[in-house]
Amino acid sequence: MFTTFPSCPASGVGRVVQKTFRVGFLLHCLHLKQKKMRKEKKRTDGLERTVIARIPKEKFEEMQQLLASSTLKNMSELLRHILENRKIIIEHYDNTFDKVMAELSGIRKEIHAIGININQVTRKFHAQLWPQTMLVNALEITKLYQQTDQKVTELFSIIENLSQKWLPE
């Protein structure tokens, strides 16, 4: 089966008759049209001039370190910020909280587990018919509440240390 295609004005190629050239021809026309559009495209970001400069190796390494720790994406953006005296935001990760956060997370899990145990013992307590077993369950609940009190005390001491370190007097 033969199909005819209109000529591609961008390339000056005439009609194509064979079916086997259909995909390649269309891709070729699309590529040429995109290439032409790229040439005609004007810069809309206001950056029309290119500046080339040479700097010492030490200064370049310093700028690379600054770029790595900043929120900027590339060296050009960093240089524009420096030339225009704009602020450069530097990200710094404070790992002093890692240990504290791990400890707080552990306490949270322990308090959660104790709460589940309290709920289970309370269900047993309400399901019992004999006063002796109710007394045993009440003693278990008392022990669990004491464990909770210990964990809450630990939690308050950690929060107090954090507030002394980070909150103003």
Task: Tell me, letter by letter, the H, E, C secondary structure of the chain.
Answer: CCCCECCECCCCECCECCHHHHHHHHHHHHHHHHHHHHHHCCCCCCCCCCCCCCCCHHHHHHHHHHHHHECCCCHHHHHHHHHCCCCCCECCCCCHHHHHHHHHHHHHHHHHHHHHHHHHHHHHHHHCCCHHHHHHHHHHHHHHHHHHHHHHHHHHHHHHHHHHHHCCC
Residue predicted with more confidence, 158 or 33: 158
- What pLDDT band is residue 38 in, cutting at 50, 70 and 90? low
> Using CA atoms, how far apart are residues 15 and 3, in angstroms rounded to an integer?
10
Residue predicted with more confidence, 22 or 167: 167
- The pair phi, psi for residue 20, each rounded to 5°, is -65, -20
Contact assessment for residue 78 and residue 89, using Cβ atoms and an 8 Å cutoff: no
Output the pLDDT for position 33.
66
- What pLDDT band is residue 19 in, cutting at 50, 70 and 90? very low
- What pLDDT band is residue 66 in, cutting at 50, 70 and 90? very high
Residue predicted with more confidence, 165 or 89: 89
> Using CA atoms, how far apart are residues 1 and 15, in angstroms rounded to an integer?
16
Output the pLDDT for position 161.
84
Output the pLDDT for position 3.
46
Residue predicted with more confidence, 57 or 133: 57
